Structure 1
Amino acid sequence: MGLRPRPVPDPGFRRPAEFAVAGCGTAFGWLAGHYIGDYYDRELDRIAKPQRPIPSGRLAAGTALACGIGLAVAAVVLLAWANWRTVVLVGLALGGIVAYSRFCKARGLSGNLVRGVITALAFLIGAMVAAPLPGWSAIAFSVVFLLHDAASNLVGTLRDVDGDRAAGYRSVPVRSGVRHAARLAAVLYGAAIATAALGLLLPHRPGFPVLLGAAACVGLFAVLPLPFLAPTLSQARALRAHEFLVAERLVLASAVLARTVPPLVVGSLLVLALVFSLWTQAAMRSAHEIPTDKEVQPT
C-alpha cells in the first residue's frame, strides 16, 4: 500500500477567519487610539469638557493608558496573524496617534492632516488583509480617506473652538477664524470626493457610483452650509455636521468596497455599520462632547 498524500488545506476555510481577526484587530487599534487620545487630552478636557470620563473622575488616567496600550498590543498581534506585513503600517498608525494627541493637535492644520494620515493607514491595513500588499488603486483611495478625515477633524475643531482657545490650543479656527476653517474643511471634503470620483475611470460594479453619489450628497449637505453659518455657528450645529460626516464616511467606504464586491454583501455590511454607528452616537456622543444641564456646575 502506498502512502496517501496529506490533503492540502483549502485557503477558503481560513479566509473568513482572517477577515474576522483583521476586523477585530482594526477595531482594537481604533479603540486604542481613543483611549490614548483621552489620556493625552485629559488636561484639555479638564478645561473644555469636564464631563468626559477622565476629568469627571469616572475613569482613571492610568486605566485609560493601560487600556490603550493593551488594545494596541492586541491589534498588532491580530493583524500580524492576518498579514505580518501590516505590522509596519500598524506601528506607523500608532505612532501617528501619539503624535497627533501629544504634539500636532494643538498646532493647527498639521494636526488635522496627521489625523487624516492615520485613517489612510487604517484603510491600507484593511486592504492588506485581502492581498499581501496594497495595489495602486488602494493607495489612491487611501488619499480619499486622508482628505476626508482631515476635513471631518477640522469640522470637529469648529465645535471645540472655545475650549481649544481657553486651553491654548492653536487650531485652525482659533488661529484664522471659524469661517476660514469651515471653508478649508469644505475644500478638503470636495478634494476627497473628487479623488474618489477618479475611480469611475477604473473597472467597477454599478454600486460604486450609486454609493459614491449618496455619500457626496450627505457630505456636501453637512459641510457646505458651515461657512455661511460661521459667524453664529453653534457648538451643537458643528457637532451635528461632524456626526453626518462620521456616518457618511461609512457610505464612502462602502462605495469603495462596492467597486469589486457584490451589492448584497456591501449593503448588508453598510446597514449593520450604520445602525451601530447611529445608535452609539445617539446614546453617547452628544453627552460626551457637550455637557447636559445636569453636568453644568454653577460658578
Structure 2
Amino acid sequence: MTAGETGRGLLELTRPVNVIAASVLPFIGAFVAGGVVDQPVRVATAVAATALAVGAGNAINDYFDREIDRINQPDRPIPRGAVSPRGALAFSLVCFGAAVVLAVTLPPAALAIAGINLVALVAYTEVFKGLPGVGNALVAYLVGSSFLFGAAAVGDMAPAAVLFLLSAITTLTREIIKDVEDVEGDREEGLNTLPIAIGERRALYVATGLLAIGAAASPLPYVLLEDFGVAYLVVVGPAVAVMCYAAYESFSDPTAGQGHLKYGMFLAALAFIVGRAAAMPTVF
C-alpha cells in the first residue's frame, strides 16, 4: 500500500462530507446566538474543534467496527487494507488531541460540552451502539449539542436551545432508519439495535412518530425567539415536507429515505440561518 493510498484512506476515515456538515452546526449555533461578527476567533476555534472531533470519532468508529464493516461496508479504508487498525486508532487519537487543545481556549460552558462529547464519541461504538435506541439517542444528542457548542463559544446558549431539541429529534429519526438499513450486518455482528429488538416496521413507526413531533414543533423558533423572522417559516416548511416524505419512503426503501432525510435536515438548518439573518437590523 503506497503512502498516497494510505493518505486517502485516512482522509476517508474522517468522512469529509460529514465533517464539513458537522462543522457548519457550531457556526449556525454561534450565528443564532449573535456572536459570529463580534467573536470570529472563538467561532473559528469552535468550528475547527468540531471538525477534528467528528473526524476522530468517525475514525475510531471504523476502528471498532472493522469486522462488521467487512459485511456492511467492505470498501471502507480498514476492510480494504488502505489503513491498518492500529494506524486508524493512532490517527483518531491525534485528531482528538488537537480538538482538546482548541477546546480549552473556549469559555467553560463550551469546554464542558466538548469534554462530554469527546467521551461520548469514544464510548459510542464500543459501549452504546448495540443498545436498542440508546446509541441512536447518543448520536442525536451529539448532533444537537454541536449547535449548543457554537452558541456557548460566544457566551449565550439560550438562543440555540430550541435548535438543539429539533435537530436531536430529526437526527434520532434518521439514526433509526439507518439501523433498519443495516439490519443484516448488525444481526451478523450480534448487535441488538432497535429494529432487531422490536422489528424493522415497528422501528420505522417509532421514527415516523418522532419526526411528526419534530414537524409539529418546527414553528417554535419563530414563536418563542424574538430574533427569528417569518423567513424562517418560509424555508422550514419545505424542509419539513422533504423529511416527512423521507419517513414515508423509508418503509419501502430505507436507504433512499435516510438519504433524503439528510437533505431535509440540511434545509432545516438553512432555515435557522435565513430566519436569524432576516430578523437582523439593516444598517445603511
**Shared fold (TM-score, shorter chain, > 0.5):** yes
4+ runs deviating over 6 angstroms: 11-14
Deviation at 1:13, TM superposition (A): 8.2
Q: What one-letter code is carried by the residue in structure 2 that aligns with 1:241?
A: G
Distance, in Å, in 2 between the alignment partners of 1:186 and 1:206 is 27
Once the two structures are TM-superposed, the CA of residue 82 in structure 1 deviates from its matched residue by: 4.2
Deviation by residue 1:60-114 (Cα, 9 ceiling, x = unmatched): 1122122222222222222333434311111111111222211211111111111
Matched, 1:71 2:90: no
Q: Match of 2:169, as an amino acid?
A: L
| 1:250 is aligned to 2:277 | no
CA contact (8 A) 1:115 1:150 kept: yes
> How far apart, in 1, do the equivalents of 2:156 and 2:107 lie?
9
What residue in structure 1 maps to residue 204 of structure 2? 182
Q: Which residue of 2 aligns with 1:171?
A: 193
Aligned pairs (5 A) from 1:1-299: 15-130=39-154, 132-135=155-158, 137-202=159-224, 203=226, 204-227=228-251, 229=252, 237-262=253-278
Assess, with a 3 A threshold, how the Cα gap between structure 1 residues 199 and 46 changes in structure 2: closer, same or farther.
same
CA contact (8 A) 1:49 1:163 kept: no
Judging changes above 3 Å, is the alpha-carbon distance between structure 1 residues 81 and 184 closer, same or farther for their aligned structure 2 residues?
Answer: same
What does residue 9 of structure 2 align with?
none
**Compared with structure 1, are the counterparts of its residues 13 and 259 closer, same or farther at alpha carbon in structure 2 (3 Å cutoff)?**
closer
Q: Contact 2:180/2:200 (CA < 8 Å) preserved in 1?
A: yes
Query: Residues 13 and 155 from structure 1, CA distance in 2 versus in 1: closer, same or farther, beyond 3 angstroms?
Result: closer
For the 8 Å contact 1:147–1:192, the answer to whether it is kept is yes
Listed one character per residue, the Cα deviations across residues 112-153 of structure 1 (whole Å, up to 9, x for unaligned) are 1111111122121011233x1411x42232111211111111
Q: Is the 1:48–1:166 Cα contact (8 Å) retained in structure 2? A: no
Using a 3 Å threshold, how does the CA distance of structure 1 residues 15 and 187 change in structure 2: closer, same or farther?
same
Measured in 2, the distance between the counterparts of 1:241 and 1:68 equals 30
Question: TM-score under structure 2 normalisation?
Answer: 0.78
Q: CA deviation at 1:240?
A: 2.0
8 Å contact 2:113–2:149 — kept in the other structure?
A: yes
Cα RMSD after superposing both structures: 2.3
Please say if residues 250 and 258 of structure 2, whose CA atoms lie closer than 8 Å, have aligned partners that are also in contact: no
Contact 2:56–2:96 (Cα < 8 Å) also in 1: yes
Given the superposition, is the C-alpha separation of residues 193 and 56 from structure 1 closer, same or farther in structure 2, using an over 3 Å criterion? Answer: same
Equivalent pair of 1:47/1:167 in contact (CA under 8 Å): no
Q: Determine which structure has greater relative contact order: mean sequence separation of CA pairs < 8 Å that are 6+ residues apart, divided by chain length.
A: 2
Supply the AA of the counterpart residue of 2:117. A
Secondary structure class of the residue paired with 1:215: helix
Contact 1:211 1:254 (8 Å CA) reproduced: yes
Compared CA separation, residues 12 and 165, structure 1 to 2 (3 A): closer
1-side partners of 2:242 and 2:137: how far apart? Answer: 22
Does the aligned pair in 2 maintain the 1:48–1:167 contact within 8 Å? no
**C-alpha separation in 1, matches of 2:98 and 2:153:** 16
TM-score by length of 1: 0.75
Q: 1:258 to 1:14 in 2, by over 3 A?
A: closer
Structure 1 gaps, min length 5: 1-10, 230-236, 265-299
Counterpart of 1:113, as a letter, is A
What is the aligned residue count? 244
Unpaired runs of 5+ in structure 2? 1-34
